Structure 1
Amino acid sequence: MFDVLTGNILPVFSVLALGFLLGRIGMVSGIEARAINRVSFIVFQPPLIFLLIARIDVASFPVRPLALYACAEIVAFVLTYQIARRIFGREVAEAWLLAMAVVFVNSLLYIWPISVLIYGLDGVTSIGAIVAWDSTVAFAFFIISIELLSGDRGAGAAVASMSRNPVLLAILLAVLTNLIALPLPAPLVTALDFAGAAAPPLTLFAVGVILSASPLVPTPVVITIAGLKLVLFPLMVWALISQFSPGDPAAPQFILNAAGPSGMMAFSLALLHGVRSDAITPVIIWTCLLSLIPLALLA
């Protein structure tokens, strides 16, 4: 466990921690970090997502555990949304993003690089399946739904904005490329690989800086949402796979991913659409910190 923690998990986490530290001491400002985050989102994440989806072998997906994982996401999302709305009285858009923070794990930018370090690129088929699912269906769902729910623009403007969203366009092009088995020229793959490799460290660093301005004292809503993310969601994934796909060799990686920290896109979407984020932000901070040991144990 110690070797996995120090050799694979902490090096990735250290980029986020570095951003947090430099933000705390004022060496990097929130304005600078937001600019970095925006550049990463619109320039470097699209090639990363495109190559992952375009080259992935869908036929190798562990279909049953992936379907069970998706079921756990749906149930946990609905439950968290109801808790955020009915118990804590949060507005619709904020409750929506708090529920997203429970089920949308930081798999692409955090769990994926950690898993590649541990298992090698050929040993992360299950994590790749989750990343593909979350990067296409789940991510697109949250981008589109929060555009409509946030109420900061009309339906026509929301549709126009989505049609220009580089991540959504990358997802669409990657799915089409995969479906028709379009060969990609080697120079293009090299360029996309080179650009995409910048997305995880840049995003982790920028978000670390932005999160450094947030209070760390947990409130009841933060404790509840973080608990649902770190305890309930992994238990749901484990229970469903154990019950309906017992002994599945893909199970450990699905549980590993479920135990990861909240995806930072919940915060990014809140920032983009002016949604209250005083609970979303510390949820991300605390789940990043508290997930270190469970990830080391499960890896």
Structure 2
Amino acid sequence: MEASLMLHVLTHNILPVFSMLALGFLLGRFGKISRDEAAAVNRVAFLVLQPALILPLIASVDLSAFRFDALVIYALCQTGTFIIAFVVARRVFGRDTVESWLLAMATVFVNSLLYIYPISTLIYGGAAALPITAIVAWDASVTFAFFIVTTDLMANRRAKPMDSLRRVASNPVLIAIVLGSMANLIALPVPEPLLTAMHFAGAGAAPLTLFALGVILSSHAILPTPTVMAISGIKLLAFPLLVWAALHVAPLPEDWNKLFLLNSAGPSGAMAFALAMLHGVRTDAIAPVIIWTSLLSLISLAALA
């Protein structure tokens, strides 16, 4: 990519989205927004805005246009990378099981919905960004649900099965995933007034979540420890390299190869951090991983886009 075009993509499409995370981080560092205030904003975004964004997206996505072979390859790359990261965190750095699980999650659960999706839509438009929509649908309906359930079960091993089931069943994001999937599968149209309300609310999900995340992360040390460097390296180098190699084995359309690689090079998703906070897991490594992958992915995303 020409340097001028790369700079244009960086300044016009990537940095405007990243700016909400950076703004939250700066305001948090200077004490203008407290952690409690950010946590309240994040809770509203999680309970109300993210479900409103996810449900119509899953309900309306055209599954017939998906390249499921590409999704299978991507999922296999996620699985392989996750296993490597988990072993590194658990065996090499001696992190406990749940923290290692979430650190490994941070290497494969990219901030697709709230970061890569709006960036790709800005660059290519909604229709051309179909491969990113496919990954968002996959990660939202399968990957995210998997980590919500497994982390809850691992962190609450002494809890009664029915208690865990109630917590999982009452998760608003999971409810939105299930309802959106059912509406899609049975071709049930979402009522227009409800769709308008969800689009109105869902538009605030990405900026508010990124802003709140920036504030919350600002209270953590960002010094890259060996654990942080290793997990960030697996996320930013190993995972995209594996995706690139795997996608070129099969004869896939160039736009699917390009956008799947773009997504794999994105920063770690915030949900690993959110799940760690929810279950009382230490975040001294998870938080810096999100910060460093967010920063270091700026140039790679501009180059790949």
TM range (shorter): over 0.9
How many residue pairs end up in the alignment? 299
Offset from partner CA, 1:246-281 (integer Å, 9 cap, x none): 564310000000000000000000000101111000
Offset from partner CA, 1:26-57 (integer Å, 9 cap, x none): 00000111111111001110010101100000
Offset from partner CA, 1:46-95 (integer Å, 9 cap, x none): 01010110000011011211111110000000111111111111111000
Distance in 2, Cα, partners of 1:153 & 1:185: 42
Distance in 2, Cα, partners of 1:212 & 1:202: 15
**Structure 2 matches for 1:140-151, cutoff 5 A?**
140-151=145-156
Tell me whether 1:129 sits opposite 2:134 in the alignment: yes
Query: RMSD of aligned C-alpha atoms?
Result: 1.0
Task: Find the counterpart in structure 2 of residue 225 from structure 1.
Answer: 231
Task: Find the counterpart in structure 1 of residue 100 from structure 2.
Answer: 95
**In the TM superposition, what is the alpha-carbon distance from 1:151 to its structure 2 partner?**
2.4
**Structure 2 matches for 1:46-125, cutoff 5 A?**
46-125=51-130
Distance in 2, Cα, partners of 1:249 & 1:173: 30
CA contact (8 A) 1:84 1:98 kept: yes
**Against the structure 1 CA distance between its residues 153 and 207, is the aligned structure 2 distance closer, same or farther, given a 3 Å change threshold?**
farther
Distance in 1, Cα, partners of 2:259 & 2:72: 14
Task: Find the counterpart in structure 1 of residue 303 from structure 2.
Answer: 297
Tell me whether 1:157 sits opposite 2:166 in the alignment: no
Task: Find the counterpart in structure 2 of residue 240 from structure 1.
Answer: 246
Offset from partner CA, 1:141-167 (integer Å, 9 cap, x none): 000000001127613211111111111
The more displaced of 115-124 and 143-152 is 143-152
CA contact (8 A) 2:49 2:201 kept: yes
**Structure 2 residue matching 1:250: 3-state secondary structure:** helix
- Tell me which amino acid in the other structure corresponds to 2:258: P
Task: Find the counterpart in structure 1 of residue 204 from structure 2.
Answer: 198
Task: Find the counterpart in structure 2 of residue 39 from structure 1.
Answer: 44
Distance in 1, Cα, partners of 2:124 & 2:51: 25
- Tell me which amino acid in the other structure corresponds to 1:178: N
Task: Find the counterpart in structure 1 of residue 277 from structure 2.
Answer: 271
Percent identity over the alignment is: 57
Normalising by structure 1, report the TM-score: 0.98
CA contact (8 A) 1:106 1:261 kept: yes
**In the TM superposition, what is the alpha-carbon distance from 1:184 to its structure 2 partner?**
1.6
Distance in 2, Cα, partners of 1:69 & 1:55: 22
Normalising by structure 2, report the TM-score: 0.96
Give the counterpart of 1:259 among 265, 280, 299.
Answer: 265
**Against the structure 1 CA distance between its residues 174 and 153, is the aligned structure 2 distance closer, same or farther, given a 3 Å change threshold?**
farther
**Structure 2 residue matching 1:90: 3-state secondary structure:** coil
Distance in 2, Cα, partners of 1:253 & 1:285: 23
CA contact (8 A) 1:64 1:245 kept: no
Offset from partner CA, 1:116-174 (integer Å, 9 cap, x none): 10001111110000000000000000000000011276132111111111111110001
**In the TM superposition, what is the alpha-carbon distance from 1:245 to its structure 2 partner?**
3.0
Task: Find the counterpart in structure 2 of residue 213 from structure 1.
Answer: 219
Distance in 2, Cα, partners of 1:250 & 1:52: 19
CA contact (8 A) 2:70 2:252 kept: no
